[in-house]
Amino acid sequence: MNRVLPAGLPDFALRSSTMLGLLALAACSSNEYRPVASTQPPPRPPAAVTAVAPTAPPMKLTPEATAAGSDVVWALRGALNVAALICQNRSLAGDYNNILKRHRALLNDAYATEQARYQKIHGRAGVALHDKAMTRLYNGFASVPDRRRFCTQAVRVADELLALPSADVPRIARRALTTMEPGALRLVSSAG
């Protein structure tokens, strides 16, 4: 059974006309290469470029005059925790664990202060609301726009934190966070 196409031509007629058109087109071509004259001069060869391996300047976070609050210190710990989990860097994961040991008292104080602040504001629901806020913060760090930058800077921040006494951590916490993620302080303020 022949199908009739919308134009009213039977299927074999369409195939035949298509084939004739292709044959006519093929007859007009040749295998001969004919260069086309150009009015523009030939392009200059590219200048020699020497590749330089990128080297990161040594990290040195300068302490601020005002120490960050416990919310920022705890958020810094959270950012490093997320980095240790998502950056696929064993060294960073090890450094994170060493930071927890080295700055245990400071981090325990920051956590206790944040828990108390939430309980003071929200009463018995404070602990649950703090947990929800920390989940939002962690999700924010896990979905930063530039993960490569976040992970690279997390390694540098972790190295710096391992070299600092705990008393200096609150004075570099803001800068450390914004070094890892420029929008980090917005994440902190929106989480709580």
Instruction: Encode 118-134: b = buried (16+ Cβ within 10 Å), e = exposed.
Output: beeeeeeebeeebeebb
Whether the predicted model's global pTM rises above the 0.75 cut: no
Q: Is the pLDDT of residue 84 over 70?
A: yes
**Which positions ≥6 away from 100 have C-beta within 8 Å?**
77, 107
- Return the pLDDT at 80: 96
Helix (H, G, I), strand (E, B) or coil at 4: strand
Token digits for 45?
């060869």
Q: What is the DSSP letter of 18?
A: H
Which ranges constitute the DSSP H helices of the chain? 11-28, 70-86, 90-102, 104-122, 126-142, 147-163, 169-180, 184-191
Least confident of 45-49, 122-126, 179-183: 45-49
Burial of 135 (0-12, 13-18, 19+ CB in 10 A): exposed
Q: What is the DSSP letter of 41?
A: P
Tens digits of residue pLDDT in 34-64? 544 555 555 555 444 343 344 444 456 555 5
- Return the pLDDT at 184: 82
